[in-house]
Chains A and B, each alone.
Chain A
Amino acid sequence: MSELTFTLLRLGYLVLLWVFVLSAVAVLRRDLAGPRTSSSRRRRPELAGPAPAAGPGGGASRAPQRGGPSRLVVVAGPLTGTTIPLTSSGVLIGRAPSCTLVLDDDYSSSRHARIFPQGGQWFVEDLGSTNGTYIGEERVQGIIPLAPGVGVQIGQSVVELQG
């Protein structure tokens, strides 16, 4: 075998070694950055539709009760379809077992956010979560009012109030 062939093989071997490393890292990258990109990709089509239609005051099809929304519904994420009846004590959402809605999600914090009523109005509050609570593209800072039908993104899940 000529010197040149051997040098090429030698360097080619190192290149292949790095190809392996980089493709392994590429598989991992999905794990690290995945939820953010995938959830924002999923969020837009799903929430852009119903959110403006429902808006404050509720959608026509939902027929809000006199006392406002009566349940919290998970509309996206692993627990899609889960419904929680609303009570005056509010709903605590997070990974901790003591939460009202326990998310099995690495991207949510132990006590991530809570949704609670005050003076006839519902509010959402981020409890200092690591990855934040979002309404649409906006991160929830402090306590803000929450209208029925508006999706709140917590980790990989989206919840909303429904009549």
Chain B
Amino acid sequence: MSGLRPEENAPTRIAEAVLLVVALALGMGGMWMVGYALEDGLPEGFWTYSIVLAALAFTTHIVLRLRAPYADQVILPAVVLLNSVSMAMVLRLDLVDMRGANASRHLMWTALGVIVACVVIFLLRDHRSLRRLTYTAMVVGIVLVILPLIPGLGQEINGAQIWIFIGPFSLQPAEFAKIAFAVFFAGYLVANRDTLALAGKKFLGLQLPRLRDLGPILIVWAVSLAVLIGEKDLGTSLLFFGLFVGMLYLATDRVGWIVIGLTMFAGGAVAAWSIFSHVQARVDIWLNPLDAELYAREFGGSYQIVQGLFGMAYGGMFGAGWGEGYPDRVPFAFSDFVYASLGEELGLTGLLAILLIYLVIVQRGLRHAVGVRDGFGKLLAGGLAFVMALQLFVVVGGITRIIPLTGLTLPFMAQGGSSLLANWIVIALMLRISDAARRPSALPTRGALADPAPAMVGGDAIEVGGPGVGPVQAGTEAGAGRGATPDEATQIVRGVER
């Protein structure tokens, strides 16, 4: 329970259970109000949806108690809340027979996502074992990105070739590639960050990396451009590149990388804009959505985004109420535009609450990146939290017309199997890392030697200073030691004698 203070017994996770009840009550309340607004009675399948959601949530709670007792207690309820509110929204759109909205399918994917997350928590005892898969993860990531381009497997839908079809199922492999790349970048950067951070010359106060160290960033840039060109998917390419630049910055603490990354992305984006018509169309509807000709255009027009804006305006401050708005007028109101649908029915007040819940999840991820002891875990947790924040910005920014609209989905809220499944895996990894970060320590803490070296090894850290010399020297050492991240968790008590 208590923040960081290690305790003798594993926490009881009461806070998590209480928050889970509130989260589930909000999901059930949403479904209940939807039913009474649209059909004057409980919606069909109300109890099925409620019981399955509650069972899934508490199963995860118990798995966490057994396998990750120190894991963060806020992440799971926050995610369950987002998922069950989205359940209510999809059910609401399903009730008015919107084409494509399918509540039972949404529930099925939710169940699958939760079960996979539980399996990950159960089987993955230590996140550091993922580090062995660094380069495997790279290959898996690249293969996943290329899959939709294979003829017969991939298929172009609504102008973007990001889907693969296996039998009756369709998947967006890019969602899973996101996780694979986060694992790869974390493993790669933890091994190479020193060269990336320290080599190179200074220019205008920025530490510029050496040319040969630019190799990996060039490769990732090329991959994300290939996604942009081959699959016509603006959002995913932005996501991959942003993930890499963000993690480079996390690993090296050099602003130079962000400057280089932004410059390269801007260059790539301008080039793509001048060459490809579909990118130009996206920019056009972003800048002039209310243009009559653009609005009436059958494909790639601004109808969707304008209807979304109208919906959110209709929702106003407090929303129209569950089932009282017209979110089904917006194409893909249940997936890409679920944010606009929620804005219409819950209003700005509801949207801000939902954004805050996302913020809490992201903050937890970054907090545990600070807390966890190994460099790989830090980068992985930081990267996963950052990519969720970036995805949120790209989606919400697109719908509210801050940036051009892309095809990304809101994690946990949009109906869509790949997105749900992939993001539940992300949450499982975050919970696993948070358990490692908050666990008092599996290593001997009370004066036992954790290091085979004799006691007092640390004594050599400071020279025996003559009067006045010691403190200065220690000061400079403190500066040089900045950013030194202990990689192995074996340094708890070193040079300590009982």
In the assembled complex, the Cα of A82 lies from the Cα of B494 at a distance in Å of 11
Is B19's CB under 8 angstroms from A27's CB? Answer: yes
Q: Are A127 and B2 in contact, CB atoms less than 8 angstroms apart? A: no
Query: Which residues of chain B from 348 to 406 have a CB within 8 Å of any chain A CB?
Result: 349-350, 353-354, 356-357, 360, 363-364, 367, 370-371, 373
Q: Which residues of B contact A30 (CB under 8 A)?
A: 2-3
Partner of A82, one of B25, B37, B482, B496: B496
> Quick check: is B300 within 8 A (CB to CB) of the other chain?
no
B33 touches A9 (CB 8 A): yes
A63 contacts B by Cβ under 8 Å:
no
Interface string of A90-128 (1 = CB under 8 A from B): 111011111111101011011100101011000001011
The reply to whether B4 and A82 contact each other, CB–CB distance below 8 Å, is: no
| Residue B409 CB within 8 A of the other chain | no
Residue of A nearest to B347 (CB): A14
Q: Which residue of A lies closest to B32 (CB)?
A: A9
Contact residues of A: prevailing secondary structure: mixed
Chain A residues closer than 8 Å to B474, beta-carbon distance = 92, 111, 114, 125, 127
The A11-60 residues at the B interface (CB cut-off 8 A) are: 11, 13-14, 16-21, 23-25, 27-28, 30-32, 34-35, 38
B498 at the interface (CB under 8 A from A): yes
B323 vs chain A, min Cβ distance (A)? 10
Please tell me the size bucket of the interface on A. 35 or more
Q: Would B447 and A82 count as touching, CB distance under 8 A?
A: yes
Contact between A92 and B462 (Cβ–Cβ < 8 Å)? yes
Could you mark each residue 447-460 of chain B with 1 if its beta carbon is under 8 Å from any beta carbon of chain A, else 0? Answer: 10000000110111
Asked whether any CB of chain A lies closer than 8 Å to the CB of B412, the reply is no
Q: List 16 A-B contacts (CB under 8 A).
A: A13-B29, A17-B26, A17-B349, A18-B353, A28-B363, A28-B364, A35-B3, A35-B4, A78-B440, A80-B446, A83-B496, A85-B455, A87-B459, A89-B459, A104-B445, A110-B482
Q: List the 6 closest pairs (A to B, CB-CB), nearest first.
A: A100-B458, A34-B3, A97-B491, A10-B321, A31-B3, A111-B478
Q: A27-B73, A84-B456 given. 18 additional CB < 8 A pairs?
A: A13-B26, A13-B322, A16-B26, A16-B29, A17-B354, A20-B26, A24-B77, A27-B15, A30-B3, A79-B447, A82-B446, A83-B497, A91-B458, A92-B474, A100-B496, A104-B492, A106-B370, A106-B371
Residues of B within 8 A of A (CB): 2-6, 15, 18-19, 22-23, 25-26, 29-30, 33, 36-37, 40, 73-74, 77-78, 81, 318-319, 321-322, 324, 346-347, 349-350, 353-354, 356-357, 360, 363-364, 367, 370-371, 373, 440-441, 445-447, 455-456, 458-465, 467, 470-471, 474-475, 477-479, 481-482, 484, 486, 491-498
